């Protein structure tokens, strides 16, 4: 297990991945909403995914509102 933090652009700069491995990204949105002074239903959002090709680009956007969210594999 490892913990990484995104930069201001929402990206992790260095992340070593392996093929055929499963990962969980947890978006800790509670501090984000508190910083915005907005009440939110969600505290954290886990996203489980599998890396099929470690040479591929993996981008997991999080679309977020205080009471809904959506993720997908971007490119």
Q: Where are the domains of the chain?
A: 21-50+57-71
Report, as an integer, the average pLDDT of 1-17.
79
d(CA 70, CA 18) in angstroms, rounded, equals 25
The pTM of the full predicted model, rounded to 2 decimals, is: 0.78
> What is the residue whose two structure tokens read 């679309």?
63
Question: How much of the chain is in helix, strand and coil states, percent to nearest 5?
Answer: 10, 30, 60
How many Cα atoms within 13 Å fall on the side-chain side of residue 44?
7
Given a contact cutoff of 8 angstroms between Cβ atoms, the answer to whether 52 and 20 are in contact is yes
Q: What pLDDT digit, counting tens, does each position of 24-66 carry?
A: 989 999 999 999 999 999 999 999 998 888 888 888 899 999 9
């Amino acid at each position: 297990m490892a913990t990484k933090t995104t930069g201001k652009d929402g990206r992790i700069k260095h992340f070593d991945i392996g093929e055929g491995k499963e990962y969980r990204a947890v978006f800790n949105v509670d501090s984000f909403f508190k910083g915005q002074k907005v009440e939110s239903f969600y505290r954290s959002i886990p996203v489980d995914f599998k890396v099929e090709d470690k040479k591929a680009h993996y981008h997991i956007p999080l679309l977020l509102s205080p009471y809904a969210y959506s993720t997908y594999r971007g490119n």
